[in-house]
Amino acid sequence: MKLSAPIPMLKRKARLLARTKKVPLHQALDDVAADEGFAGWSLLAARAGAVSPAGRLFARLVPGDMVLLGARPGQGKTLMGLELAVEAMKAGHRGSFFTLEYTEKDVLDRFRAIGAERQQFGALFELDSSDAINAGHIARRMATAPRGTLVVVDYLQLLDQKRDSPELMEQVRALRSLARDKGLIIVMISQIDRSYDPSAKAMPDLGDVRLPNPLDLKLFDKACFLNQGEVRFQAV
């Protein structure tokens, strides 16, 4: 059965439905799935999982990679980050999610949105939503992480917002070294500048990344951009 829209667009439709009808996100997801001819969202997600963008991206990643994942608000970049962690855990690796944007409840609620259950991964999944998150904090938490652990940082532009945090460039360099020294995969979610015009360019790129503070984007090995349900990968 062919879906009426790509998975990220269906998720966006469900989030809008949840807000307008004031229903839980999982109920809205099931309603969207019903419209697509599925008994529930988990069944729809399972059907799409074999060819999911997250699965294709994860297949391109190797230990030591630093990845930038960018999109405008509402395009599914946080869900994609969580999906990448799930792909890593399905492969037997750890998945660590550091967020300065969402609460623990927000993140755990999103597991259902991607057709997964938090409980199925046990100790493989680690969530940190503390206010102390910066490169040094992440390095300390990952000190004993095994090779192949996938780390998601949500999001890049918040890392140096506190006055006592190092400059953004310094932090990204530190995380790049951490990824390479320990064989981790670090995925950094990023905002896209408001000047990006989707009517003029279908997909954002490195030139559209919002940089309130100086940062050499060549510190990243790979990049992934999302817009209107479409996904584009590129080497940096």
User: In which band, very low, low, confident or very high, does the pLDDT at 73 lie, cut at 50, 70 and 90?
Assistant: very high
Evaluate if residue 51 carries a pLDDT over 60: no
DSSP H helices in the chain: 7-21, 25-35, 41-49, 53-60, 77-90, 104-113, 135-141, 168-182
- Closest residue by Cα to residue 96 from 86, 106, 109: 86
Percent of the chain with pLDDT over 90: 63
Q: How many other C-beta atoms lie within 10 A of the C-beta of residue 37?
A: 12
The bridge status of strand 222-227 relative to strand 230-235 is antiparallel
**Token pair for residue 183?**
């064989």
Evaluate if residue 46 carries a pLDDT over 80: no
CATH number of the domain located at residue range(s) 53-235 in this protein? 3.40.50.300
Per-residue pLDDT tens digits for 137-151: 999 999 999 999 999
Evaluate if residue 20 carries a pLDDT over 70: yes
Evaluate if residue 56 carries a pLDDT over 90: no
**Token pair for residue 30?**
């099931």
105 vs 177: which has the higher pLDDT: 177
pTM beyond 0.85, yes or no: no
Evaluate if residue 153 carries a pLDDT over 70: yes
Domain residues of the chain, as ranges?
7-49, 53-235
3-state secondary structure of 9: helix
